[in-house]
A and B are shown apart, each in its own frame.
Chain A
Amino acid sequence: AQTVTQSQPEMSVQEAETVTLSCTYDTSESDYYLFWYKQPPSRQMILVIRQEAYKQQNATENRFSVNFQKAAKSFSLKISDSQLGDAAMYFCAYRETSGSRLTFGEGTQLTVNP
Chain B
Amino acid sequence: EPEVTQTPSHQVTQMGQEVILRCVPISNHLYFYWYRQILGQKVEFLVSFYNNEISEKSEIFDDQFSVERPDGSNFTLKIRSTKLEDSAMYFCASKTGQGSYEQYFGPGTRLTVT
Contacts and interface: CB of A to CB of B under 8 A. Distances in A.
Given A91-B43, A102-B45, A104-B43, A44 B106 contact: yes
Interface residues of B, number: 22
Interface in B12-69: 31, 33, 35, 42-45, 48, 55-56, 58
Contacts of B55: 100
Interface residues of A, number: 20
Contacts of A91: 43
Interface in B55-108: 55-56, 58, 89, 91, 95, 101-103, 105-108
Interface of B is mostly: strand
A69 to B, nearest CB: 21
Contacts of A47: 101-103
Interface string A10-34: 0000000000000000000000010
Contacts of A103: 45
A101 B45 contact: yes
Interface in A35-54: 35, 37, 42-47, 50
A50 B101 contact: yes
Given A37-B105, A44-B3, A44-B106, 11 more contacts: A33-B101, A43-B89, A46-B105, A47-B103, A100-B48, A100-B103, A101-B56, A102-B43, A102-B103, A104-B44, A107-B42
14 contacts: A33-B101, A35-B101, A42-B107, A43-B89, A44-B106, A44-B108, A45-B105, A47-B101, A50-B102, A100-B31, A101-B33, A101-B58, A102-B35, A105-B42
Interface of B: 3, 31, 33, 35, 42-45, 48, 55-56, 58, 89, 91, 95, 101-103, 105-108
